[in-house]
């Protein structure tokens, strides 16, 4: 199983096939061939060095909430009231 992680485009490399992205202060270069050039500041979903999808803010927040829940489960601090608030509130987008 592999996870796709949201990362923000912060710089471009060369002719636009590769971008530098950041998350939590970590920077890496990714291939943008599936999406093409995106404006700086755009959040993209990445997996194995490849940008797969441009993320809207709402999508990104849902993914961040899920990643936070996984991290909490791994350190035994998961709280159903804190995580996946969109599901517990009855909102299903």
What percentage of the chain carries pLDDT values higher than 90? 57
pTM of the complete model: 0.80
- Assess whether 48 and 82 both reside in one domain: no
Residue 78's pLDDT is 79
Q: CB of 12 within 8 A of CB of 51?
A: no
pLDDT for 46:
96
Residue pLDDT tens, the chain, 93 long: 568 999 999 999 877 789 999 999 999 999 999 999 999 999 999 999 999 999 999 999 989 888 888 888 888 887 777 776 666 665 555
Instruction: Give me the pLDDT at residue 3, please.
Output: 80
- Locate 11 and state its tokens: 């710089």
State the Rg of the chain over Cα: 15
> Hey, what are 10's tokens?
């912060």
19 and 34 inside one domain: yes
Domain housing 3: 1-55
What is the total count of domains within the chain? Answer: 2
User: Measured between alpha carbons, how far apart are the two ends of the chain, in Å?
Assistant: 24
């Amino acid at each position: 199983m592999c996870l796709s992680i949201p990362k923000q485009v912060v710089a471009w490399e060369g002719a636009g096939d590769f971008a530098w992205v950041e998350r939590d202060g970590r920077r890496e270069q990714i291939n943008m061939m599936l999406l093409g050039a995106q404006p700086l500041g755009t959040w993209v979903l990445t997996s194995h060095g490849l940008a797969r999808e441009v993320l809207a803010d709402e999508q990104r927040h849902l993914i961040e909430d899920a990643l936070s829940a996984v991290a909490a489960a791994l350190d035994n601090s998961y709280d159903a009231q804190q995580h996946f608030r969109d599901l517990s509130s009855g909102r299903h987008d």
